[in-house]
Amino acid sequence: MITEFLQQVRVIDPVSETDQISDVLIVDGYIQAIAPQIADISADISIQDCRGLVLGNGLVDLYSHSGEPGFEERETLTSFLQAASAGGFTRVTVLPDTFPVIDNPALVAQLQKQIKLEESLHSSPHLQIWGAITLDLAGKQLTEFADLATAGVVGFTDSKPWENLGIVRRVLEYLQPFGKVVAFSPCDRHLSLNGVMREGGEALRIGLPPIPASAETGAIAALLELVANMRTPVHIMRVSTARSVELIATAKLQSLPVTASTTWMHLLLNTADVKSYHTSLHLDPPLGNASDVAALRAGVRGGVIDAIAIDHAAYTYEEKVQAFAESPPGAIGLELALPLLWQNLVATGEFTALELWRVLSNQPAACVQQEIKPIKVGEKAELTLFDPEQIWTVNRENLHTLSHNTPWFGQQIKGRVLQTWC
């Protein structure tokens, strides 16, 4: 029997809307007792002093990239899951853009077998799988939705902008009977062309090819028109502009079946940061202007943006050591997101702890039609223990991911996950 007693820990539970100091007793992975003070503790139970620490529901990542299969030099499933656990995540969902692409039940079954092995060996986070919408993500021929749904994918996405709006309409029509979420990353590539940075004054000063906000907002507007007509639930990924937040807010007021997410880096950084030309700031969609960041934060707090995704994308050193515009877009984040979001949003007083935890735990789960259980007696412990004051250096020795493509590499940051219960 494994018994853990957490004394005077700050329990943050957005499911039951509580934020309070409590004693928590966990026995064999289940919450046996939780109270402001637990007195009748056996003398042989080790007591962990948790004053100043935060205990919250396990974090949920809506979408991230796994290197395996196909790009194991970037990231293996083992390193991916270890990074997720170290970042406080108890559930992570991988995108289908592996090699081969996750577009058939056989590959889903193979990955599920490997996932079960990882979970049994390492008590790792639960790994979920997005199924591809089109074969090889080519955007032309649809996958067998029924077979993939039966195989157990959490939903469907190609994780990239669509080439043909007619295909999107067919997808919304065909997916109606399956009860699975379909996620789109909206961008009009005819407008974005070869751009790598949000259009505006900073792009002019820095001299990088710009992408107008309308590349995203035009695509979202077209998608919302289809949703209004078809009524198929959709999730809008990687929202990055102020106007996009307005469009989604209007859609929700009209009761359209829409959820949305932005990524953690789009809440923390803006175009002014790109002046360093650090290739880990090359993201898709690009970082927004300061007004976009303010609108995204307000959208998250107000519920227009349902969730914060990590969109972890590991790349090798050689892949990222290129000119900014030539480097592949993406950055790691599983181990960095919670500490940096907490220090920049909660410690500054802009967000409450409950507001941040909600969009990193139960609301991402709800976006894929799942739920996070409240922290109460009798429930299985799916929890994250976080020290918001611990200072550590982002370096190879302290990261579990195989790659280090992040603008915070080599820097000290404040806040670290101490333990997860998966």
Least confident of 117-126, 213-222, 380-389: 117-126
Please give the span between the terminal C-alpha atoms of the chain, in angstroms, as a whole number. Answer: 17
> Is 40 designated active site?
no
**Structure confidence at residue 119 (pLDDT):** 77
Residue bearing the bigger pLDDT, 396 or 117: 396
Taking the model in full, what pTM does it have?
A: 0.96
The interaxial angle of helices 242-253 and 290-302, nearest 10 deg, is 30
**Structure confidence at residue 219 (pLDDT):** 98
List all residues 6 or more positions away from 221 whose beta carbon is below 8 Å from its beta carbon.
247
Alpha-carbon distance of 105 to 145, in angstroms, equals: 10
**Structure confidence at residue 279 (pLDDT):** 98
**Structure confidence at residue 43 (pLDDT):** 65
Alpha-carbon distance of 242 to 244, in angstroms, equals: 5
Least confident of 122-126, 296-300, 306-310, 417-421: 122-126
Mean pLDDT of 337-355: 98
Mean pLDDT of 115-122: 80
Mean pLDDT of 2-22: 96
Alpha-carbon distance of 316 to 321, in angstroms, equals: 9
pLDDT digits over 281-292, tens only? 999 999 999 999
Is the pLDDT reported for residue 163 higher than 70?
Answer: yes
Mean pLDDT of 219-232: 97
**Structure confidence at residue 40 (pLDDT):** 78
Is the pLDDT reported for residue 145 higher than 80?
Answer: yes
Mean pLDDT of 316-321: 96
Q: Which of 76, 61, 118, 65 is nearest to 400 (CA)?
A: 76
Mean pLDDT taken over the chain: 96
Most distant CA atoms of the chain, gap in Å: 69
Domains of the chain, start order:
3-53+380-398+415-421 (2.30.40.10), 57-367 (3.20.20.140)
pLDDT digits over 75-101, tens only? 999 999 999 999 999 999 999 999 999
% of the chain beyond a pLDDT of 70: 100
Which residue of the set 13, 306, 311, 387 is catalytic?
311
Quickly tell me which residue has 């065909």 as its tokens.
174
Query: Beta-carbon neighbour count of residue 371 at 10 Å?
Result: 9
